[in-house]
Amino acid sequence: MTMANYLRYGKGFSLYNKNNNTEYYTSEVYKKINLHISNESLLYIEDLDTKYPCSKAFIFLSKHRSGSAIPTLTCHCTGNYADNPYGGNPQELAMSDPYLQKRYLQEINNAKPFLRHYEIVIEASHHGPTSLKKPVLFIEIGSSERQWIDRKAASIVCNCLLRVLENGLGQCKKVGICLGGTHYPSKFNKLLLESEFGLAAVAPKHNLESVDKDMLNQMIAKSIEKVRYIIVDWKGLGKEKNRIMRLVENTGLEVLRV
């Protein structure tokens, strides 16, 4: 809500409709962007395709929570590799837009001098919603209430995102899916910032036992940009390394080890 309030009071998004605990906002300046405020948990909102049939993507402005309480700005695609304790359907990944994620991460990283207390990282794909037909990206501020109400951070996050959207969505020169590493995959994060790669789904080491041929194909297919690479954290594949490498070698895609 700190980010939503900045858009309302700092960027001129005005209420144009309200019903069923949902508020709809538009802007005379940012005419291609709608602001949707719901009392529902963001993890369970699966009806946006009906409400916004012409949308190109759904971007969720969310709080981030972790036990460490480290100040963190994150972004990630959504999806469940196994069961669904936090929304979405089991064994279902949402659509991803690699370019949108890459450009936002680049923008917020460029603003790092003004966000000195925050770590800036991507997360592996997790939680819902998973069944929306357009790409989903979560953009989060965390990891405790102190950061959730940080209006300076919220304003910087929103302005970075607005710059990306106003410049228009494009395409990455290279797109890959990622396997291995931790939930906060530093190697893949570095790849996004320092190379031509954009990333679709990211499956961390603790989810690899759920990645079979069908799930791997879903990771490849559920990107609006064509996936041509499979990127593996070679030291972060754990006990699943041999099985995963046999799977990826049968896809015909180029495999990159990091």
What's residue 20's pLDDT?
A: 87
Determine the 3-state secondary structure of 130 from DSSP: coil
What's residue 191's pLDDT?
A: 97
Q: What's the whole-model pTM score?
A: 0.97
CA nearest 131: which of 85, 95, 77, 84?
95
Q: How far apart, in whole angstroms, are the C-alpha atoms of residue 164 and residue 201?
A: 21
What's residue 256's pLDDT?
A: 98
What's residue 201's pLDDT?
A: 98
Using a pLDDT cut of 70, give the percent of the chain over it. 100
Tell whether the model's pLDDT for residue 67 goes beyond 90: no
CA nearest 225: which of 201, 244, 248?
201
Please report, as a single letter, which amino acid is at residue 123: E
What's residue 127's pLDDT?
A: 98
Strands (E), the chain: 14-19, 22-26, 35-38, 58-65, 72-76, 79-80, 92-93, 119-122, 136-143, 174-179, 197-203, 229-232, 254-257
Domain architecture of the chain: domains with CATH? 2-257 (3.40.630.50)
Residue-averaged pLDDT of the chain: 97
Determine the 3-state secondary structure of 256 from DSSP: strand
Q: Which helix (H) or strand (E) holds 74?
A: strand 72-76
